[in-house]
Chains A and B, each alone.
Chain A
Amino acid sequence: DIMMTQSPLSLSVAPGQAASISCKSDESLLKSDGKTYLYWYHQRPGQSPQLLIYEVSGRFFGVSDRFSGSGSATEFTLHISRVEAEDAGVYYCMQGRKLPLTFGGGTRLEIK
């Protein structure tokens, strides 16, 4: 199984400031089709995870352009510019390179 490791475990950011979350995999997520299967999700309390970023840097429908993703192979970053109150919650990375789908442990974002 591909192991996904996120950091930090939590962070506290003031509104308007930027935030970054790191995700590392123990295998390359680049597939033979040329795509890298790394996804980012946001989960608010009581809700299911919502897709933010697909294939490292693709922004999903309706996702604010304050969210962006970067990275390659085994190291990835989610960037949030100008954090807002609605960004609070837990962020997860997920690899879709192969089954079993596996997730990072999550990063809790608190808005100061």
Chain B
Amino acid sequence: DVQLEESGGGLVQPGGSLRLSCAVSGFTFRDFTMNWLRQTPGKGLEWLAYIDKTGEIIYYADSVQGRFTVSRDNARDTLYLHMDDLRVEDTAIYYCATWSDYWGQGTRVTVSS
């Protein structure tokens, strides 16, 4: 079975940092481009970042450009999202996903003082 499992979410103060991980199994991770997305009640589903199969080509949403960094370790079948300078409006459920087919169950990030 295909599984994507996010971890690393939690409560952080504004200006703080977090690193999310997404461990995958059930498919050949290195053969897939990957994305990070998030969901809030107010803004709905929002795409955040894209990384190609090798990690050489990366794109970010304007809302996180310069603050978030996506990376991957194909040897460990793991995708990462390093988040710096977190803001209250970054509070959301964060998902890793392939281009369209599979999503993880999400990890909740709360930014609050």
Contacts and interface: CB of A to CB of B under 8 A. Distances in A.
Interface of A: 39, 47-51, 54, 60, 92, 94, 96, 99-103, 105-106
B27 interface: no
Nearest to A105: B44
A49 B35 CA distance: 14
A51 B50 contact: no
Contacts of B55: none
The dominant DSSP class at the A interface is: loop
B47 A100 contact: yes
Contacts of A49: 45, 103
Interface of B: 35, 37, 44-47, 50, 59, 61, 95, 99-106
A54 B50 CA distance: 19
Contacts, number: 38
B61 A100 contact: yes
Contacts of A92: 45
A54 B101 contact: yes
A2 B81 CA distance: 25
Given A92-B45, A101-B47, A106-B44, 9 more contacts: A48-B106, A49-B103, A50-B103, A94-B100, A100-B59, A100-B61, A101-B35, A101-B37, A106-B45
A51 B44 contact: no
Contacts of B50: 99
20 contacts: A47-B105, A48-B103, A48-B106, A49-B45, A50-B103, A51-B101, A51-B102, A54-B100, A54-B101, A92-B45, A94-B45, A99-B47, A99-B50, A100-B47, A100-B59, A101-B35, A101-B37, A102-B47, A103-B44, A103-B46
Contacts of A96: 99-100
Contacts of A101: 35, 37, 47
